[in-house]
Structure 1
Amino acid sequence: MSIRPLTDRYAVSPQITPQDLPALRAAGYTTIIDNRPDGEIPPPLHSAEMRRAAEAAGFVFVENPVVGGAITLENVARQRAAIDAADGPVLAYCASGNRSSIVWALANAGRIPTDELIALPARHGYRLEDFRRDIDRLAAEAS
């Protein structure tokens, strides 16, 4: 498991497993957001199985499947709502952490300066520059 913090309250990771949950709990995470569609992964890692394990371990678990190259405004709103509702640090996962970074940046458009929304994920190798226009558009709509 490779946790990549974007802020002190939000981190991204490649796919996690139920065996990772104790370490995530020990690290202080309270909410887990699953940004992977079930069609990408084997059945033991499907959202229903991960939800069962995460909730049994005391986490809030949010399903928000993000299809690469097809992030929707519903994905953005669901990610924002999950982040806002969290009572502690959030870990979002997908295949590599990239989609979880992109949907986080879009969800925070207008709340955090665009340059930061691009620079914070870049520290971990996620390139969001191509989303600058979308972030700026969402920020303008939010104001």
Structure 2
Amino acid sequence: MEYRQITEDYAVSGQIAAEDVGAIKAAGFKSVICNRPDEEQPGQPSHDAIKAAVEAAGLAFRYIPVVSGQMTVENVEDQAEALDELEAPVLAFCRSGARCTNLYALVQERKRG
């Protein structure tokens, strides 16, 4: 599984599978955020399947679906709240990692005012 480190406490990746959770835990992540809506692409794992694997491994999970090209203020607020509440480091995933990266940038911009 590949991921891109954005900060010391936040990294992003493309779609993960339940089988990736062991590697995620071994990499030191404490929490996982899914920013990909279910059924965005045929055959992708559901967030419930990922959540079950993540929680079984003792990690925290949050589902904040963001429709590609349609990010909302609510998405940014939900992501900011999750980042405040979840134990770091956090791995966020979507289809490619781009939405997670853009969402993080907007959260940081919001914090700066």
- Which category describes the TM-score, using the shorter chain as reference length? over 0.9
Structure 2 runs not aligned, ≥5 long: none
Write out aligned runs for 1:112-127 (5 A).
none
Structure 1 runs not aligned, ≥5 long: 112-138
Equivalent position of 1:29 in the other structure: 29
Higher share in helix: 1
RMSD of aligned alpha carbons: 1.4
Task: Give TM-score scaled by structure 2 length.
Answer: 0.92
Alignment partners' CA distance in 2, 1:88 and 1:6: 13
Equivalent position of 1:4 in the other structure: 4
Identity of aligned residues (%): 42
Higher relative contact order (CA 8 A, sep 6+): 2
Equivalent position of 1:47 in the other structure: 47
Task: Give TM-score scaled by structure 1 length.
Answer: 0.74
Equivalent position of 2:76 in the other structure: 76
2:109 counterpart of 1:109: yes
Whichever of the two has the greater Rg, that structure is 1
Equivalent position of 1:116 in the other structure: none
* Over 6 Å off, 4+ runs: none
SS in 2 for 1:58: coil
1:99-131 per-position Cα deviation (integer Å, ceiling 9, x unaligned): 0001111111154xxxxxxxxxxxxxxxxxxxx
Contact preservation (8 Å) 2:10, 2:88: no
Shift, 1:41, TM fit: 3.8
